[in-house]
Amino acid sequence: MLNQIMEDINDQIFNMLGDFCGIFGQKEVFTLLLAMNREKVYNDFLKAEAGFNSDKLAILDQGINNSPYQNQVENYPEYLKILPSLTIPGGKAFPDVGELPDIDEEALSFLHPDIKEACICIAGSADGQFKSRWLGRNALDKCQYWSSTKIIPILNVICSLDSDINTCQIRGDGKNLDFNEAVEDVITYAKKVGSSNALSAMFKSFQTYVHLESWLKEITGNNHTEFQGLYGEEPFIMSPEIVQNNQVLLNAVSESKKREDQTGENTVTAYDLTRIMSMVGWYYHLPEPAKLPGMSWENLQPFIRNLGKDTARYVDVALEKLGIQNSIKSPVILSKMGFGYSSSRKRTELTYTCFTQFEYQGEVKSIAMTLRGAKALGDFEKEAVEIDARMAAEVTEIFRVLVRDVEGMTGYVELLFQDVF
């Protein structure tokens, strides 16, 4: 009781200080400073979980309709034409297709221990080249990334089509689906067409398990990945074909895609997903040898818009917590969440792969990342809300580091106040 009273008093004091700083136009500096108190940030997100449970979590299931950026999604492809700058040292040319970049495995030690695996790529223009830096925590460890991997077979299909996907349908079993609507349902779980799991299994029907896994390896340069599983449901259409004006463009392979016949599991790496997201978000700026083979900018645009509708809104709440949501321009937030309970590992796991870009204080910030969090408490409901809050807190910290002006006022005040927080 006493702790709660003290917390309320502290909150009131901080709100007063924030208002005071706002008088001098420095409220953002103050909110960025407050975010240095990472445990408070986590506790704030945990409080927001009140009334939520594993069936619907506060941030994982917030949905695009509750996002302040929902009206910006249509503009995402145009915003992605803006060239970001890479201001941190040590960047190298963005890797070509099939080239494994150097990943700094010591750089993400600041992340909470609940984040078991992570990979971050920061990229942009530097010295006339498009360069990148890759940071990791167990970034090449092969793990289950749940529904976050659903973007892979969709991209494979788009890369296999040499036609405008906006006019394509997927048909079979007496069904006729609009291509982009099927992709949207995978991301949003809205079930306008079908379930996300069944539709994702359907998108895997256009390649054999071995060929799709090989395609992923050829893209990333990581040969220690397994991608031969489904998503817990039978394909929405068992033997689909993609058509345009009644002309068949792509047929399902003859290999059975029934659950009982799946040949393996979906165990990829944080690096794999970050690499894929980076090649989507920076496609417009990458040199040809680094671009997704077979992809066109025209066909990537509808996928980008759909990827902007993920149910998980961790970047949204991070930008709000940092107090900069009203100061950024040309925002892009692309993401795909994953969530589940592992009976073999006896813990709840949450995955989040995303690409984010925005202009802040005259600089275009751009980042691709994948985080995999896990919590084992022997109580699924408690694990679920805690890992949801933890993911939000860690995404907040990553963006705090990304946007802080370490050579300007924020950095100076941080030095003065680091012992306080």
Whether the model clears a pTM of 0.85, i.e. scores above it, the answer is: yes
Q: What is the pLDDT of residues 322-367, one digit of tens each?
A: 999 999 999 999 999 999 999 999 999 999 999 999 999 999 999 9
In this model, does residue 166 exceed pLDDT 80? Answer: yes
In this model, does residue 21 exceed pLDDT 50? Answer: no
Query: Quick one: pLDDT at residue 87?
Result: 84
Residue 264, CA distances (Å) to 176, 267, 268 in order? 29, 9, 12
Query: Quick one: pLDDT at residue 261?
Result: 87
In this model, does residue 49 exceed pLDDT 80? Answer: yes
Q: How many CB atoms lie within 10 A of CB 50?
A: 8
Structure tokens at 371: 């985080």
pLDDT bin (cut points 50, 70, 90) of residue 88 is: confident
Per the prediction, the chain carries an average pLDDT of 91
The alpha-carbon radius of gyration of the chain (Å, integer) is 22
Mean pLDDT of 108-125: 97
pLDDT bin (cut points 50, 70, 90) of residue 32 is: confident
Q: Please list, in sequence order, all residues whose beta carbon lies within 8 angstroms of the beta carbon of residue 381, skipping any fewer than 6 positions away.
A: 53, 54
Rounded CA separation 240/115 (Å): 38
Query: Quick one: pLDDT at residue 415?
Result: 37
In this model, does residue 3 exceed pLDDT 90? Answer: no
244 φ, ψ (degrees, to nearest 5): -145, 120
First to last CA, the chain: 23
In this model, does residue 30 exceed pLDDT 80? Answer: no
Handedness of CA 202, 205, 206, 207 (dihedral sign): positive
Query: Quick one: pLDDT at residue 24?
Result: 38
Structure tokens at 208: 């054999």
Phi-psi region of 294 (alpha: psi -120 to 50; beta: other; left: phi over 0): left
Q: What is the pLDDT of residues 178-227, one digit of tens each?
A: 999 999 999 999 999 999 999 999 999 999 999 999 999 999 999 999 99
In this model, does residue 270 exceed pLDDT 60? Answer: yes
Instruction: Report the DSSP beta bridge partners of residue 91.
Output: none
Give the burial class of 81: count Cβ atoms within 10 A of its Cβ; 0-12 exposed, 13-18 middle, 19 or more buried. exposed
**Interstrand relation of 226-227 and 266-268 (parallel, antiparallel or unpaired):** antiparallel
Mean pLDDT of 60-78: 98
Query: Quick one: pLDDT at residue 262?
Result: 82
In this model, does residue 20 exceed pLDDT 70? Answer: no
If we measure between CA atoms, which residue out of 344, 210, 212, 191 comes closest to residue 276?
A: 212
Mean pLDDT of 151-174: 97
The segment with the largest mean pLDDT, out of 16-25, 378-387, 406-415, is 378-387
Query: Quick one: pLDDT at residue 284?
Result: 98
In this model, does residue 234 exceed pLDDT 90? Answer: yes
Query: Quick one: pLDDT at residue 90?
Result: 87
In this model, does residue 416 exceed pLDDT 70? Answer: no
Kindly state the helix (H) or strand (E) to which residue 135 belongs, with its residue range. strand 129-137
Place of tokens 């500096």: 29
Residue 106, CA distances (Å) to 6, 102, 109, 165, 372 in order? 37, 12, 6, 42, 17
Mean pLDDT of 73-96: 95
In this model, does residue 10 exceed pLDDT 90? Answer: no
If we measure between CA atoms, which residue out of 331, 327, 391, 405 comes closest to residue 367?
A: 331
Kindly state the helix (H) or strand (E) to which residue 291 belongs, with its residue range. none
Give the type of residue at 54.
S
Query: Quick one: pLDDT at residue 89?
Result: 85
In this model, does residue 147 exceed pLDDT 50? Answer: yes
Residue 105, CA distances (Å) to 61, 119, 227, 351, 361 in order? 31, 9, 24, 19, 30
